[in-house]
Structure 1
Amino acid sequence: MQQGLPTSDQLGVSHIGNATPEPAESPRQGILSGIGAKMNDWGFTPVFNLVQMYLANPSVGQQTGNHEALTFVSVGGDFDLQKIAGFSGATIHFQQLFVPFTTNLGWGTQVGDVLAGQPGPYVPKVSHLALFTWEQKAFNDRLDIELGKSNPGLYFGAPVCNQGFGCQSAILQKNAGMNPPIYSNWGGRVRYNITPALSVQAGVWRSNPAFPFTNGWEWTDTATDSNTWLANIVYRTAYQTDPYPKSYELVFYHNTAVQTDPFTLATHNGTSGMYAGGRQVVYRPDGGKSGASDPTAVSVFGSLTTSFDAHASSGLAMTGIAGLMVEAPFRSRPHDSYGLSFLWATLTPNEQSYLKQQNLAAGGTGYTVGRTQFAVKLDANIAVSRSIVLSPYVMRSWNTSTWGNPAYADTPKNGYVVGILASVFFDRMLGLTDH
């Protein structure tokens, strides 16, 4: 089962809980603008988005020349209970996700590594409750509490690279138990904004190991769950307040699930680790002119996720990414961005021994791939219109492992993986929202 999926914002989940000011609303356009304005005035902001995903491995992994395609449709909205019922600071968030079309859900296993195959989604069910929470703010929005069905990836371990889908940490999803973005679990969080830029947050969620076969509407789960405990500190600014915006986050996690060492099969309770990520604008041709909402800018970014547990079930010791991003390189296209990144993933010594063991058991002559896989990636976000964004990428991998499919007798191929996401924001296109 592959755990990587598009990030929640790419799936149209509008609720991200940032402490920094949101961008200003743009002029409403679309054939339903009048209806949208009335709904917004009443207190309802609709969400209606689509993400079409295509992934291919022309030359990398165990079974090359395959592809996967999926269609995600997100429907729901935010209910402002202050406008609707007079409950100050209260909002209900709801989103239902549909996956009407899928092709080759086993693509991630066919590639079979950490960096190229891990993002291959395995989505056997066609409908999922992605978000259903009550959010309560108080003390001039400094205190933010949220309870219900959600995914912790909405609030912890925010991606720092150009495409959120491309820098999700396998350790956060596997070790920490932060199930992929479309899978919601019971949980809650509390955040306090010390300043408009600085915040601290803590939360706990149930984590279901059988998540591909859930739809989010379950009251209880048939599989044995664990608890995912998370805490972070975030410093984040935006162009409205900072000519050189920055975003830094430090996360600590603990998951209560029983861990089984992949090589010795010894067990122990719980696993912990940390995530550190950041992005900083370092250059603007205009010298940092104030008031520019979408200036041409160059950013550096990076993140590192490490496990404190050398015997965790996942066999992952460390993952990381570092790179450069160029925003609005052409003034005629202020919403485009391009990224260059270097990625790596290191397995635990016992996971490496396990892969060697499995290679011989499958009839191989010996596993010679090292513990650390490397990759270089080029990607882009191209705004076709105010409501359609294309996100292509190409990645070259070296030292490709069999982590995702250990029972393989040969040596997996180094090579290229490519993909593209098409995001269509129908709510904006139709004029149902200004955001």
Structure 2
Amino acid sequence: MSKMRYGLYLGVTALAGVLCLDPRSAHAQAVPSAAPFDPIINFGQTLKNNGIYFDAAYAYDFAAVVSGGKENGIMPIGHFSTAAVFDLETILGIPSASIHIGFDQRAGIPIEGIAGNTAGLITSDQGPFQIRLGYLYWEQGFWNDRLDVTLGRTNPTFDFAFSDISCTFVGQICAQPTSWYGNNLNGAYPISEWGGRVNFQVTPEVYVRAGVYQHQFNPPFPYADHGFAWWPSTPGAFIPMEIGYQTSYKTAQYPAKYDIGGYVDTAIANANTFIGGRNARGAWYAQGQQAVWRPDRNTNQSLWVFGGAITYTGNSGQWGQYYGGLFTQGPIYSRPRDTAGFIASLYVNNSQINPAFNKEYDFELNYGFSVIPGITFKPFADLIVNPTNGGTPAGTPPVQYHNAWVLGFQVAIDLGQAFEWPTFVPH
């Protein structure tokens, strides 16, 4: 699956049948192209013939705290994204070169505020009705794309500690472990900064990757920014690295992805006032996802197990996060594009910073109904045990909220899948 399409969904939706970069569907449940839509379908192919790849998507999350937490209530969030890739080899004859651009618009209210939680729920990426630049970068391949370099307005969200299975969950991890975003000053998608990464394929399955990103100054409410204020920055850099192994539905009977890595954040921002003089923060992580059942290699029907761990330095807000779960593609034979998933996460908070809430447990169960290709309806249930309540003002007694139940659904629409538009694959 292309990064462009992941960028369309990040944090709010997931695609059925696209794990491990292979969007083929299986056996039944196919929907033939309707003749009235042929001009729209042909539009994507025409763009491809001219070196342009386009996609657009919208996701709507409806979530409600129905029990426990700080209070009960309903918090909806809408997320529209659009992106394009310009294949410069086709357009200008520049070998293995492309330009990637994406825009994002979000509007809604964060559910975590009333759940009494600031550690685990990701349905908190609310924003005003503001269209912002999500990324704009150059990608260049060398040696038949064995070496691949990106440079421009970007972020490490797609390239480090990334898990495509994680993005099938509505209120849990996507794309990195959720604690990643609160323990460094690097901006996650759709916030971009100057930077880039280098990826080297040691073998077709094994890669080594490293990047450097300048910290971008963000306004108090970053989603309200248009994304074109490119020059304000804050001192420090974000330096991630990773080594991994990955196969796909096309290359293996039981595809898998394993990665280990870490980062150093040199920003002058010390979350732990008990450790004077230590400003830089860092982390180490290990992740894995493995298909353990796949009855027919000609289809994507499969069962996966996945899990991971990330640990932080002592001057971060948390000691670590540990998670695991199950994911199935095509849980019902006659509905191969449907998905189902379960995840459990443990957040171990830094007891020096938040002694009253040293652990939080988050769980999610969901089922994704594929209405037609490109349109998914996904009901979900989240349970937050011992909500962290990390937002308690300093000097005030901590408030212990009851365990929170969050119920809701997500509706996701991907025009590229619905109209069979081609996706960009590097040469």
Q: TM-score range by the shorter chain?
A: 0.7 to 0.9
Residue aligning to 2:66: 58
Unaligned residue ranges in structure 2 (runs of 5+): none
Matches within 5 A, 1:10-409: 10-11=9-10, 22-23=22-23, 30-31=37-38, 32-62=40-70, 64-99=71-106, 102-105=107-110, 107-117=111-121, 119-124=123-128, 126-159=130-163, 160-161=165-166, 163-165=168-170, 166-168=172-174, 169-208=177-216, 210=218, 212-213=221-222, 214-221=225-232, 224-262=234-272, 264=274, 266-284=276-294, 286=295, 289-290=296-297, 292-295=298-301, 297-307=302-312, 309-312=313-316, 315-353=317-355, 369-406=356-393
Give the conservation status (yes or no) of the 8 Å contact 1:60–1:417: no
Query: CA offsets per residue over residues 45-64 of structure 1, 9 Å max, x none?
Result: 111111212222222322x2
Give the conservation status (yes or no) of the 8 Å contact 1:37–1:432: yes
Residue aligning to 1:413: 402
Q: Name the stretch that deviates more: 88-97 or 125-134.
A: 125-134
Q: Name the stretch that deviates more: 122-131 or 32-41.
A: 122-131
Query: CA offsets per residue over residues 190-243 of structure 1, 9 Å max, x none?
Result: 00111111111000112336363333211212x625311000011111111111
Question: Partner of 1:232: helix, strand, or coil?
Answer: strand
Question: Partner of 1:420: helix, strand, or coil?
Answer: strand
Give the conservation status (yes or no) of the 8 Å contact 2:244–2:259: yes
Q: Name the stretch that deviates more: 88-97 or 124-133.
A: 124-133
Q: CA deviation at 1:21?
A: 6.1
Question: Partner of 1:38: helix, strand, or coil?
Answer: helix
Distance, in Å, in 2 between the alignment partners of 1:22 and 1:145 is 23
Give the conservation status (yes or no) of the 8 Å contact 1:171–1:306: no
TM-score of the aligned structures, taking structure 1 as reference length:
0.83
Q: CA deviation at 1:36?
A: 2.1
Question: Partner of 2:269: helix, strand, or coil?
Answer: strand
Q: CA deviation at 1:328?
A: 0.7
Q: CA deviation at 1:408?
A: 6.4
Q: 1:219 to 1:59 in 2, by over 3 A?
A: same
Q: 1:95 to 1:233 in 2, by over 3 A?
A: same
Question: Partner of 1:249: helix, strand, or coil?
Answer: strand
Q: CA deviation at 1:139?
A: 0.9
Q: Name the stretch that deviates more: 402-411 or 250-259.
A: 402-411
Give the conservation status (yes or no) of the 8 Å contact 1:320–1:343: yes
Q: 1:88 to 1:21 in 2, by over 3 A?
A: farther
Give the conservation status (yes or no) of the 8 Å contact 1:183–1:216: yes
Distance, in Å, in 1 between the alignment partners of 2:208 and 2:13 is 22
Give the letter aligned to residue 388 of structure 2.
Answer: S
Computed over aligned residues only, the root mean square deviation of the Cα atoms, in angstroms, reads 2.9
Give the conservation status (yes or no) of the 8 Å contact 1:252–1:274: yes
Q: CA deviation at 1:320?
A: 1.7
Distance, in Å, in 2 between the alignment partners of 1:303 and 1:98 is 30
Give the conservation status (yes or no) of the 8 Å contact 2:108–2:128: no
Distance, in Å, in 2 between the alignment partners of 1:327 and 1:193 is 28
Give the letter aligned to residue 414 of structure 2.
Answer: F
Query: CA offsets per residue over residues 115-138 of structure 1, 9 Å max, x none?
Result: 454541242461211121110112
Question: Partner of 1:173: helix, strand, or coil?
Answer: helix
Q: CA deviation at 1:247?
A: 0.8
Give the letter aligned to residue 60 of structure 1.
Answer: G
Q: CA deviation at 1:352?
A: 2.4
Residue aligning to 2:415: 426
Percentage of matched positions with identical amino acids: 23
Give the conservation status (yes or no) of the 8 Å contact 2:331–2:338: yes
Q: 1:142 to 1:224 in 2, by over 3 A?
A: same
Question: Aligned pair count?
Answer: 399
Distance, in Å, in 2 between the alignment partners of 1:342 and 1:209 is 34
Q: CA deviation at 1:72?
A: 1.7
Give the conservation status (yes or no) of the 8 Å contact 1:115–1:375: no
Give the conservation status (yes or no) of the 8 Å contact 2:380–2:407: yes
Give the letter aligned to residue 9 of structure 2.
Answer: Q
Q: CA deviation at 1:23?
A: 4.3
Question: Partner of 2:268: helix, strand, or coil?
Answer: strand
Distance, in Å, in 1 between the alignment partners of 2:84 and 2:310 is 32
